[in-house]
Amino acid sequence: MSAVTIIDVSPRDGLQNDPKWTSTEDKVALIEKLVRSGIKKVEATSFVHPKKVPQLADAKELLESIAHFDGIEAIALIPNMKGYERARVHRLSEVNYVSAATETFNEKNIGMSISQNMSQFKELVKEAKKDGIKTCFSVAVSFGCPYEGDVKEDYVIEIVQQALEAGADRIGIADTIGIAIPNQVEQLMAKVLEIAGETPVAIHLHDTRGLGLSNAYMAYRTGIRIFETSASGIGGCPFAPGAAGNLATEDLCYLFERMKVQTGIHFNHLLEAADFAASLSTKTPLGRIRHVEKISEKGNAV
């Protein structure tokens, strides 16, 4: 079966909303453990204004601390051009630019209309191409919004089409509040894949209602091969009331390993990273496998 790429977002999305300050040293240690497990792509931090997300105010220091890591492709979330100006000086393989599928969420999350957001993205893409940095355009609340309710697929597709025309190197579809069900995932992701063509498409799943793994399986069946998850399932969006943590990296890895889908991840080392991620969070982690699985001496789940 086709191999997958798992992008771990726990250092950014996993910790951004935690009320307890996590030291830069602990964030670096978490990233080091993730890389040791075989995860090559890590969304390490964000260049959101520190007043909005104080937990990630150390973005500069963090990226400087991991610049020497071998085998890592560091990603940073970028809310606007000002954020990109701060990020571009660092060793980044990619920046993740976020818009929303609804105007209300976009205003609360980014402080701009969707149209204004797209205009800035077009400007950013031009600069990123000059700098040799790839761009991912992610669409938040693609399956449902905490302020506007149901989201029409056509809205998401229209935003994706504009991002593709602007030159996005990757598209991300996010279930920010964990409201999606498998048939929604199948329908929307099939349409996104069709218009994306050769441009890679990722899915970012939250596990608020316990359907994250089912949705990931359906996304894989539909053709998605890039998944954004968080070690131990920590996290949640500070601008989405009631949103619980992310789909746990180790839970998804366990599923794929049992399905004989190659992940390139060493499961034992991943569990160590997940345990450490859980220790950094004040919230109850959503990950399940690390609590119940016994690991054989060969490192395979049994």
What is the average per-residue pLDDT within 38-56?
Answer: 95
Q: What is the Cα–Cα distance from 97 to 76, expressed in whole angstroms?
A: 9
What is the three-class DSSP state of 116? helix
Over residues 211-219, the mean pLDDT reads: 97
Does 286 have pLDDT greater than 70?
Answer: yes
Query: What does the pLDDT read at residue 301?
Result: 42
- The closest of 218, 249, 104, 236 to 177, measured between CA atoms, is 236
Q: Is residue 123 in a domain? A: yes
Half-sphere exposure of 152 (CA within 13 A, CB side): 5
pLDDT for 298 equals 47
Q: What is the mean pLDDT of the chain?
A: 93
What CATH number does the domain containing 186 carry?
3.20.20.70
- pTM, two decimals, is 0.94
Q: Are 233 and 208 in contact (CB under 8 A)?
A: no
Read out DSSP for 88-149?
Answer: TTS--SEEEEEEESSHHHHHHHTSS-HHHHHHHHHHHHHHHHHHT-EEEEEEETSS-BTTTB
Looking at residue 202, its pLDDT comes to 98
Helix (DSSP H) and strand (DSSP E) numbers for the chain: 11, 8
Closest alpha carbon to 32 in 44, 14, 23, 20: 44
Q: What is the mean pLDDT of the segment spanning 191-207?
A: 97
Residue 205 falls within a domain, yes or no? yes
297 within domain boundaries: no
pLDDT of res. 144: 96
Do the domain assignments include residue 173? yes
- Among residues 103, 99, 101, the alpha carbon closest in space to that of 117 is found at 99
Residue range 54-71: average pLDDT? Answer: 95
The confidence score (pLDDT) of residue 285 equals 83
Quickly state the pLDDT bin for 80 (edges 50, 70, 90). Answer: very high
Per DSSP, the residues of 263-284 read ----HHHHHHHHHHHHHH-SSP
Residues 6 or more apart in contact with residue 26 via CB below 8 angstroms? 280
237 given a catalytic annotation: yes
Task: Please state the rounded mean pLDDT for residues 222-229.
Answer: 98
Residue 247: inside a domain: yes
Q: Contact 259/299 with Cβ under 8 angstroms?
A: no
Residue 201 parent element (H or E): strand 201-205
Contact by Cβ (8 Å): 141, 99: no
Question: 113-144, pLDDT tens digit by residue?
Answer: 999 999 999 999 999 999 999 999 999 999 99
User: Is 300 within the bounds of a domain?
Assistant: no
Q: Please write the tens of the pLDDT for every residue from 89-119.
A: 999 999 999 999 999 999 998 899 999 999 9
Q: Does a structural domain hold residue 298? A: no
Q: Active site residue: 136, 145, 237, 253, which one?
A: 237
- What is the total count of domains within the chain? 1
H or E, element range at 98:
strand 94-100
Within a domain: 219: yes
The parent domain of residue 96 ranges over 5-292
Mean pLDDT of 55-66: 97
Confidence of residue 2 (pLDDT cuts 50, 70, 90): confident
Least confident among 26-30, 168-172, 240-244: 240-244
Quote the pLDDT of residue 71.
87
Residue 146's pLDDT band, with cuts at 50, 70 and 90, is very high
First to last CA, the chain: 21
